[in-house]
Amino acid sequence: MTANQIRTAYLNFFRSQGHTLVPSAPLVPENDPTTLFTGSGMQPIVPYLLGAPHPEGTRIADSQKCFRSQDIEEVGDNRHTTFFEMLGNWSFGDYFKQEQIAWMWHFLTEELKLDPKRLHFTCFVGNDDLGIPKDTESAELWQKLFRDKGLEVGIGENSEVEGIGEGQHIFYYNEKKNWWSRAGVPGNMPVGEPGGPDTEMFWDFGSEKELHEVSAWKDEPCHVNCDCGRFMEIGNNVFMEYKRIEGGFEKLAQQNVDFGGGLERLMAAKMDNPDIFVGDIFDALRSHLETLSSKVYSSEGEYTYAFRVVMDHMRASVFLIADGVLPSNTDQGYVLRRLLRRAVRYADVLGIDSGNLSSCVLPLVTTYRESYPVLEIKQNDIAGVINEEENKFRETLSKGMRELEKRITDKTLSGKDAFDLFTTYGFPLEMTQEIALEKGIAVDELEYRDEFEKHKELSRTASAGKFKGGLADNSAKVTAFHTATHLMLAALRKELGEDVHQAGSNITEERTRFDFTYGQKVSREILDKIELYVNAAMEAGATVGTTVMLKDEAKANGVEGSFWEKYPDNVTVYQVVGSDGTIYSQELCGGPHVTNTEEIKAFGRFRITKEEASSAGVRRIKAIFE
């Protein structure tokens, strides 16, 4: 049975149990600024678990694309990947434990035909302090299902300490293992957060038993949640019926079921091999890499790690690009860049000729074309993005590596050097750390973060300078235009009324372009009056100065400004005042301005060359010096 067949079997089975199949949400969550990626099947489902009505009803199922960037460093063992698919089904206040457990048993033992003797289940032991009872119902349901198959199985109360007793297949654990909420254990849940006990399903690789004897856990008893590698969790049924309240829990308005099971792990159980990278879902990509590298993949060998990294990172990259992510230096784009650049390095380890990474798209399209047709539709674009990123990185890779070698001194690499490697050679920090670590060298990460913040501050200041008041630069002419623009706004308000405000400005050496709120065309007659006002103020040799005022005081004094709410309590006001005391303009502003309006005269007379509509209720003026 292939992974594609497992996915289909799952979805078909749950459809036959009245579930509506919904498509996978994108890897970049919509309307969720709290997280960069969709990392679990239930993430896009949370609102419905909390009670919002789902448009497709109370039973839904899907296969959700997931990406966990926090797992990048785990990739390389036999089971971790950054990208994976999570099969999921949900009841929103519909069915509960009895149906879910029976269906799961059916799916595992009948659809996947997994040997029940190799299946194990865990249930919540209960917690009196929290007022949450022991989940004997789930344990007994599993026990009965075994019995229906002619198997009498025992229940382990304390397998963490006692190990697995003879004939035991069901085990109780506390909230550290058998409780699920987004925040983790009950004690970490904020008031209002939903959660509940869960019952998890495990596959026993059996033949791996000896692993425990040589593992770090050899002095402790082996049990299903032991990390020695003998058991693999293949699914988690959460009975989400509680909500955290002050000092305890109360029942949610509805009893929900939230099931999530990793497709790749179910595949591993089905093939009875804990190395998911030999699974058929990687067949096309793996043999492609074998051809490119003239090496054969094996679960243990010199190149195992490199093969796994390239397989994982290329698959994840292809799915991320298909969902609209492009390599960049921030957010999702940074993570993608890290994946691709790391893939380049490990493709080199495999001895793959440069320029070949984008050829990995085709085998992935072959594997996923039926479930994710978008990969095929976008394959050329995806390959283009990968190619460009590989080329870009290769241009600096060897120079960067030489530079890195040079800068490593003693036992550390300075944060500043690591930052230079990032900005100049495109080495993501984590990659530099990894290369350094291979040489037993640490990177001063704190200093790196400092440099990063400084750089951010600098570029912020630079861009603030660039856009400040819409000025292209701080040259004398642009500054003169800026002061003239203040005068123009004062004149517009004088002629057209106090409802006129700035809506935008953009000033270069050639002209000032100014948008303001006003609903109709401004006649040439009025424009002439405005020109006159500006030129008269220039003739008057008025002084331009700043005063700091309380915001309310400024408002009361008729100071012009837009977006008052954006300013602090004390505001800087630029005033243009004639020697006779005439106030030509007073406006909230950050400068810069000429110090006397006479200076503007050096550039010529102020003339309005154009007045037109900009957008609804906004007019645009262009003016020059001539």
Q: Which residues of this chain interact with ligand SER, rule CB under 6 A?
A: 40-42, 88, 180, 236, 238, 258-260
Angle at 237 between CA 235 and CA 242, to 5 degrees: 150
| Beta pairing, strands 154-156 & 168-173 | parallel
Residue 219 identity:
D
Q: Which residues are within 8 A (CB) of 140 and not within 5 positions of it... i.e. 6 or more apart? A: none
Give the C-alpha separation, 99 to 13, whole Å.
13
Give the C-alpha separation, 96 to 197, whole Å.
12
Query: Minimal distance in Å, beta carbon 128 to ligand SER?
Result: 25
Instruction: Tally Cβ neighbours within 10 Å of residue 417.
Output: 22
Give the C-alpha separation, 341 to 584, whole Å.
59
Query: Minimal distance in Å, beta carbon 10 to ligand SER?
Result: 13
Measured from the CB atom, the residue of 20 and 215 that comes closer to ligand SER is 20
Bridge partners of 67, per DSSP, are 83
| 8 A C-beta contact, residue 593 and residue 486 | yes
Give the C-alpha separation, 224 to 201, whole Å.
9
Measured from the CB atom, the residue of 93 and 163 that comes closer to ligand SER is 93
Measured from the CB atom, the residue of 11 and 527 that comes closer to ligand SER is 11
Query: Minimal distance in Å, beta carbon 25 to ligand SER?
Result: 13
Query: Minimal distance in Å, beta carbon 42 to ligand SER?
Result: 4
Give the C-alpha separation, 266 to 425, whole Å.
41
Query: Minimal distance in Å, beta carbon 91 to ligand SER?
Result: 12
**250-to-194, 245, 259 alpha-carbon distances in Å:** 10, 7, 22
Measured from the CB atom, the residue of 195 and 470 that comes closer to ligand SER is 195
Query: Which token pair is 292?
Result: 């490119």
Measured from the CB atom, the residue of 38 and 168 that comes closer to ligand SER is 38
Measured from the CB atom, the residue of 259 and 516 that comes closer to ligand SER is 259
Measured from the CB atom, the residue of 54 and 551 that comes closer to ligand SER is 54
Backbone phi and psi for residue 157, each to the nearest 5 degrees, phi listed first: -85, -25
Query: Minimal distance in Å, beta carbon 198 to ligand SER?
Result: 7
Query: Which token pair is 108?
Result: 């595992």
Reference 264, options 308, 226, 301, 228; nearest CA is 308
Backbone phi and psi for residue 114, each to the nearest 5 degrees, phi listed first: -80, 145
Query: Minimal distance in Å, beta carbon 177 to ligand SER?
Result: 12
Backbone phi and psi for residue 355, each to the nearest 5 degrees, phi listed first: 85, 10
Minimal CB distance to ligand SER: which residue?
Answer: 260
Query: Minimal distance in Å, beta carbon 200 to ligand SER?
Result: 9
| 8 A C-beta contact, residue 347 and residue 394 | no
Query: Minimal distance in Å, beta carbon 90 to ligand SER?
Result: 8
Measured from the CB atom, the residue of 198 and 204 that comes closer to ligand SER is 198
Measured from the CB atom, the residue of 44 and 363 that comes closer to ligand SER is 44
